[in-house]
Amino acid sequence: METLAFQGLIGLSVAMYLWLLAAGLTIVFGVLGVLNFAHGSLFMLGAYFAFTFYGLWGVNFWLAIALSLLAVGIVGYLMERLFLRHIYHLDHAYQLLLTFGFILIFDDAVKMVWGGVAKIPPLPSFFEGTLSVFKRPFPIYNLFIIGAGLLVAVVLWLLFEKTWWGKIVRTSASDREMASAIGVNIATVFTGVFVFGAMLAALGGALGTPVRVVAPGIGAAMIIQAFIITVIGGLGNLKGAFVGAVIVGILSCYSILLFPVFELFSIFLIMAVVLLVKPQGLFGS
């Protein structure tokens, strides 16, 4: 019993990376109507930048995270301004094809710059050590991650529900034409939201660097998980993204414990069941 509860807590910390990833994906989709297949690659870039700043150059941990957010934000800005912006009017398939092309580009670009070998950056000293949970050692860092994930959830909720900025974004999401008629600059909102989503993905990647392996290919692995989450939770819905992330995170941790070979398989199974029973997702409309 205690083993299960403990593993669940580990799963919750894994879920927080997935939540940060899925949140950005779903916000961008909700506002722009574009599903960014390269969103997982932005997560990967966040991890690589954080690794470079913190692990290689020895920049302060918090500053390294901030810098990697900034760097990925710039990448997102360029993606939106130079490419996506010009094909909003086309069929959705072309937007998917474009971002799919970007997965290939980012994957190889990362190999070019950082090499094909996985990197394992150091853990900041103030996060070393463990707490005793259920009489087992639980890493302090994972606790920090759970806290950070929940904090982001609260901040996002406040941002969207309580601020002027959130109102503008919600207006643009629900009726583009009306929003621009009342003086909202849609183009700027789109760029801003895309950059914001990219930074959320980068935050997940950067926070993960001290404890997860940084390697080429994690971008694609992450986007698959993000897709499973959005299928379970419903696309374009933040609550769905959070619940989906918790389900997938905890479930994958139990599967590793119980049947390691078919870890991914069990998550797909849940997705298949949701598809058959409620195709629009748990929180989809």
Q: Cβ of residue 256: shortest distance to other proteins, in angstroms?
A: 12
Binding of residue 224 to other proteins (CB under 8 A): yes
Question: Which residues, in sequence order, are CB contacts of 92 under 8 Å at separation 6+?
Answer: 33, 34, 35
Binding of residue 231 to other proteins (CB under 8 A): yes
* Alpha carbons 251 and 274: distance in angstroms, whole number: 14
Angle between helix axes 2-32 and 238-258 (nearest 10 degrees) is 140
Q: Cβ of residue 234: shortest distance to other proteins, in angstroms?
A: 10
Cα-Cα-Cα-Cα dihedral sign, residues 211, 214, 215, 216: positive
Q: Where are the alpha helices (DSSP H) in 115-211?
A: 140-162, 164-174, 176-181, 186-208
Within positions 243 to 282, which residues make up the interface with other proteins, using CB under 8 A? 261-262, 264-265, 268, 271-272, 275-276, 279
Stretch that binds other proteins, among 93-101, 143-151, 175-183, 198-206 (CB under 8 A): 93-101
Q: Cβ of residue 140: shortest distance to other proteins, in angstroms?
A: 32
Q: Cβ of residue 129: shortest distance to other proteins, in angstroms?
A: 33
Binding of residue 48 to other proteins (CB under 8 A): no
Q: Kindly tell me which of 116 and 137 has the beta carbon lying closer to other proteins.
A: 116
Q: What is the CA 193 to chain-centroid distance, rounded?
A: 14
Binding of residue 78 to other proteins (CB under 8 A): no
Q: Kindly tell me which of 83 and 138 has the beta carbon lying closer to other proteins.
A: 83
* Alpha carbons 205 and 50: distance in angstroms, whole number: 8
Binding of residue 115 to other proteins (CB under 8 A): no
3-state secondary structure of 29: helix
7 close to 133: Cβ distance less than 8 angstroms = no
Q: Which residues are near other proteins by CB under 8 A?
A: 29, 35, 37, 83, 86-87, 89-94, 96-98, 100-105, 107-109, 111-112, 220, 223-224, 227-228, 230-231, 235, 261-262, 264-265, 268, 271-272, 275-276, 279
